[in-house]
Amino acid sequence: MPGVDASLFPVFLKLAGRDVVVVGAGAIAERKVEALVGAGARVRLVAPEATAELQRLAREGFIEWTGRRFEEADLDGAWMVVSSTGDAETQRRVTAAAETRRVFVLAVDDPPNATAYSGAVIRRLPFLIAISSSGATPALTRVVREIIEQVLPGPDWVEHAKALRRRWIADGTPMGERFGSLVRDLKDRSRPNE
């Protein structure tokens, strides 16, 4: 399809307990760090200066902060790196160092130096939805996320779908029949009482 990067493979990563390096410590890096900490990653921040919030996270032991410029060895042992410096040369150096170590790079607002892209994320249990434009249109990606948030089913639909699944398993309902059954059932539930 025109405009779609077919070379991308969408994936969700389990980063809990794994080292992730964040290079740069401005407002965008702060948001990335908070998301990584929330995912349970061991965040190693590298930047000469950091926002007050990132400094607090370091003081309280949520992240490790090295207060200096990036060095290639900072990526040793990392599973992933987020490069958010705003400095073209540093971004290029981070990507080169990551490439030799086979580490994926989220290069914020810098698609040429990225080997991975993050997306606009919706977390509404049990759903985790990420939307990406491969870095081409971040603002539009956010709009799409907000539209999807409006149409996601509420908790009552989720609980009903879980109950149906338990019944299908108990009854031995074939996989091929489950989707149609769920759609019909939810459609019936959404009709106003006649």
Q: How confident is the model at residue 5 (pLDDT cuts 50, 70, 90)?
A: low
Q: Can you tell me which residue has the tokens 């003081």?
A: 59
Q: In this structure, is the dihedral angle defined by the CA atoms of residues 128, 133, 134 and 137, taken in order, positive or negative?
A: negative
Structure tokens at 182: 């769920």
Give the pLDDT score at 94.
Answer: 98
In this prediction the pTM is 0.77
Contacts of 138 (CB under 8 A, 6+ apart): 109, 120
Q: To which H or E segment does residue 90 belong?
A: helix 88-101
**Per-residue pLDDT at 101 exceeds 80:** yes
Q: What is the pLDDT of residues 46-63, one digit of tens each?
A: 999 999 999 999 999 999
